[in-house]
Amino acid sequence: MLAEWALQSVADGKQYAMSERLLWLIVRRLEENTVVIGKALGNKKLKLPKTHPDYPWSDADTGRVQIGGRGDATSEEVIDFLDSK
């Protein structure tokens, strides 16, 4: 069995697993696929954003608004908050 350190990397000071990196790459490919299919169906206005952050927590200069950020709260604090509601 692989050691835990072999399954994780560090980027921008945050630790992530390779499965998370794969999911993020799938998001980008899904964006690309959506644009290609839309253009094939005749929607000429669709455009793929030129930049895609390397990691979900990286800032992208796309002007998109991120909804649902947890700010400085930890995962445990968020779960406790949601359980209290």
The pLDDT value given to residue 63:
56
Interacting residues of 55 by C-beta distance below 8 A, sequence separation 6+: 11, 12, 14, 16, 24
Angstrom distance (rounded) from CA 41 to CA 34 = 11
Q: Is the pLDDT of residue 69 over 60?
A: yes
Q: Which pLDDT belongs to residue 39?
A: 92
Of 49-53, 61-65, 69-73, 75-79, least confident by mean pLDDT is 61-65
The pLDDT assigned to 34 comes to 92
Q: What is the DSSP letter of 64?
A: P
Going from N- to C-terminal start, the domains of the chain cover 7-58
DSSP string, 12-23: TTEEEEHHHHHH
Q: What are the pLDDT digits (tens) for 12-52?
A: 667 777 788 888 889 889 989 999 999 999 988 888 877 77
Tokens of 19: 């499965």
Spatial CB neighbours of 63, under 8 Å, sequence gap ≥ 6: none
